[in-house]
A and B are shown apart, each in its own frame.
Chain A
Amino acid sequence: MAQMTMIQAITDALRTELRNDPNVLVFGEDVGVNGGVFRATEGLQSEFGEDRVFDTPLAESGIGGLAIGLALQGYRPVPEIQFFGFIFEVMDSVAGQMARMRYRSGGRYSSPVTIRSPFGGGVHTPEMHADSLEGMVAQQPGLKIVIPSTPYDAKGLLISSIRDNDPVIFLEHMKLYRSFRQEVPEEEYTIPLGKADVKREGKDLSIITYGAMVHESLKAAEELEKEGHSVEVIDLRTIMPLDIETIIASVEKTGRAIVVQEAQKQSGIAAHVVAEINDRAILSLEAPVLRVAAPDTVFAFSQAETVWLPNYKDVIETAKKVLTF
């Protein structure tokens, strides 16, 4: 075991898979000699060579096409989109092409591609760097969307994502890259995609969340505990497909739930989670399922992040509304 930050765990997962499978290719803008703008691919080119880890021209759409074409030749591409706000440039390759490859060819071809991309607020980035756009890709049949919140999850989920024979969008929250260390096994291990993780057990309220909001929710849960509320925190880890079983089991136990996301209320995945709970566990509910989300404006100018981004206080406030409904 080693103490790792999330970014180190990601590098470790990439190194593991580059070693395991000669078809794994890592490419993107400045991921080679530079080691990535966040050092996620640090040292990989010098270890595995320019044939396996390489830079591309500055064109996201071309990177998407490159991944699809390399996959058609039997490779296992792990491209990087420097910031997920730039996904709009490559939306056709992602949603219009690789997500549909297996279906449109009746199973003849597939796109075993893992797109890595940083996102998330709280670090005062310039425009179009921090936007939470996971809801947009979660609506595209054929994709899987993974969002880890801890170094341990990041490594196991990234290895699983790379080994998956269908396209996976692996979103890395910038604020979580180096915010804390955790024990991460040095050997390889996997975490199944589509499986949530109960980060904290409780019996009065379920908080269903993902990304940086996992930590805000855990902090809120601690505060609520002091006031005598026992709160369960479920980290979705994969937002598409959802782990319905874990969500419903928790709600049936607690009878109350909130869904917490960093994305705007009209975006993200929270509405989908609420709908699934309403469909499947309405008879267990003591109160409506409420959401914590950002306001429905464009992502905040960086100085306004602190007042705009949801945080543990918003979680506490909404939790109390549901607890006292």
Chain B
Amino acid sequence: MASKTKNNTFDAVKQLENVESQFEMFQILNEEGEVVNEAAMPELSDEQLQELMKRMVYTRILDQRSISLNRQGRLGFYAPTAGQEASQLASQFALEKEDFILPGYRDVPQMIWHGLPLAQAFLFSRGHFKGNQIPEGVNVISPQIIIGAQYIQAAGVALGMKKRGAKSVAVTYTGDGGASQGDFYEGINFAGAYKAPAIFFVQNNRFAISTPVEKQSAAKTIAQKAVAAGIPGIQVDGMDPLAVYAATLDARKRAINGEGPTLIETMTYRYGPHTMAGDDPTRYRTADLDNEWEKKDPLVRFRKFLEKKNLWNEEMENETIEKAKEDIKEAIKEADNTPKQKVTDLISIMYEEMPNHLQEQYEIYKEKESK
């Protein structure tokens, strides 16, 4: 028998809908390269717009070549980036040199545009310590393999900047699957509690390997998870370079003004597999879904936008492609010429002062290596 319940003054479902309605997707350029949000247009010079396009094209080529080099056995671990150029590069484009990037394993492009030499990015892929010896003055750390760890570390980097009175920000990236980790929540919560200048990106490409985002959480957006930390969250069209740039710039401005962190969810897609280690996306993604997202390609819409302004043409595109291929060839050569690693090298980078047991093992391996 259904019992008659009293009229409840608290409507929990309405409450959830209210929250969700606050996280509508922010977009400036539509798929046709048309400006749909003139008021939010970021101030970028013609040269800056061209530079951003160049970086996106360059990075698409870098991805194609990296996949090919990986298949030839000339690269090791590689997580494809095609499709995420707007999300990765337009966000980095809004940063200053003094900002510190804590990348995930798919975020090598941001490191490169922040100053990591390409040859070192290839050495990282192959598994060589010299790939991670970031040049002085380049404020990045090597790609984080433990999903979520970069988030709590970013809170610490940001607090350090705040304590130093620096006008810079810590920027970190994870994926949609990563937003299920404890360190994801702790990272944004710590940064919030300390009002630290951090920008947290979630690049939502809808899949964590084979697991769709719907299986990560019942939350309608990942951006709304910012509510749990009491910080602003925004969902952005991650295939739209101008929207990603504008959102990042806005978050950066608030951070350096002492207003605390922001969580930015970029809605994006990876056209390739999860990594080159045998993942086959046809097992878990439909061709229809791939086609739907290919229409959203950030390069296509930004190309249309620039062509209409007479800022881009085929010749510029081809020049960029050739430049990328040339650089990649050079960088691979440089990586090839890097001396092989020895056990004594690995022992030497463990501690500032070598403890006795390592000193002993160092001598043993030095002897072996001299033969």
Count chain A residues whose beta carbon lies closer than 8 angstroms to a beta carbon of B. 43
Complex Cα gap A69–B156 (Å): 4
Q: Give a binary string over A85-99; 1 marks a CB under 8 Å from any B CB, 0 the rest.
A: 000000011001100
Task: Answer whether residue A61 sits at the interface, using C-beta atoms and an 8 A cutoff.
Answer: yes
- Decide: A73 and B161 in contact? CB cutoff 8 A: yes
A65 with B153, Cβ < 8 A, contacts A70-B159, A92-B146 known: yes
Mostly, the B contact residues are helix
B135-185 residues at the A interface, CB under 8 angstroms: 141-142, 146, 149, 151-161, 163-164, 170, 182-183
Task: Answer whether residue B298 sits at the interface, using C-beta atoms and an 8 A cutoff.
Answer: no
Question: Which listed residue (A61, A107, A144) contacts B182, Cβ 8 A?
Answer: A61
Q: Which residues of A contact B149 (CB under 8 A)?
A: 65, 92-93, 96-97
- Decide: B146 and A70 in contact? CB cutoff 8 A: no
Complex Cα gap A109–B351 (Å): 11
Question: Which listed residue (B132, B152, B157) contacts A62, Cβ 8 A?
Answer: B152
A72 with B352, Cβ < 8 A, contacts A51-B163, A57-B190, A93-B149 known: no
- Decide: A65 and B160 in contact? CB cutoff 8 A: no
- Decide: B352 and A93 in contact? CB cutoff 8 A: no
Task: Answer whether residue B365 sits at the interface, using C-beta atoms and an 8 A cutoff.
Answer: no
Question: Which listed residue (A108, A141, A164, A194) contacts B350, Cβ 8 A?
Answer: A141
Q: Which residues of B contact A71 (CB under 8 A)?
A: 156
Task: Answer whether residue A132 sits at the interface, using C-beta atoms and an 8 A cutoff.
Answer: no
Task: Answer whether residue A234 sits at the interface, using C-beta atoms and an 8 A cutoff.
Answer: no
A144 with B132, Cβ < 8 A, contacts A56-B190, A59-B186, A75-B160 known: no
Task: Answer whether residue A31 sits at the interface, using C-beta atoms and an 8 A cutoff.
Answer: no
- Decide: B355 and A61 in contact? CB cutoff 8 A: no
Complex Cα gap A105–B140 (Å): 11
Task: Answer whether residue B349 sits at the interface, using C-beta atoms and an 8 A cutoff.
Answer: yes
B281-326 residues at the A interface, CB under 8 angstroms: none
Look across to chain A and name the residue whose beta carbon is closest to the beta carbon of B130.
Answer: A106
What residues make up the interface of B, taking CB atoms closer than 8 Å to A?
Answer: 100, 129-130, 132-134, 141-142, 146, 149, 151-161, 163-164, 170, 182-183, 186-187, 189-190, 193, 346, 349-352, 355-358
Q: List 7 additional contacts besides A66-B152, A164-B352; criterion CB under 8 Å.
A: A65-B183, A65-B187, A66-B190, A73-B164, A75-B160, A75-B163, A194-B356
Please list 27 pairs of residues, one from A and one from B, whose beta carbons are closer than 8 Å in the complex, sorted by A's number. A59-B190, A61-B152, A61-B182, A62-B155, A65-B149, A65-B154, A65-B183, A68-B152, A69-B152, A69-B155, A69-B159, A69-B160, A72-B141, A72-B157, A73-B100, A73-B157, A97-B146, A102-B349, A103-B346, A104-B142, A105-B142, A107-B133, A109-B141, A141-B350, A142-B351, A166-B352, A242-B357
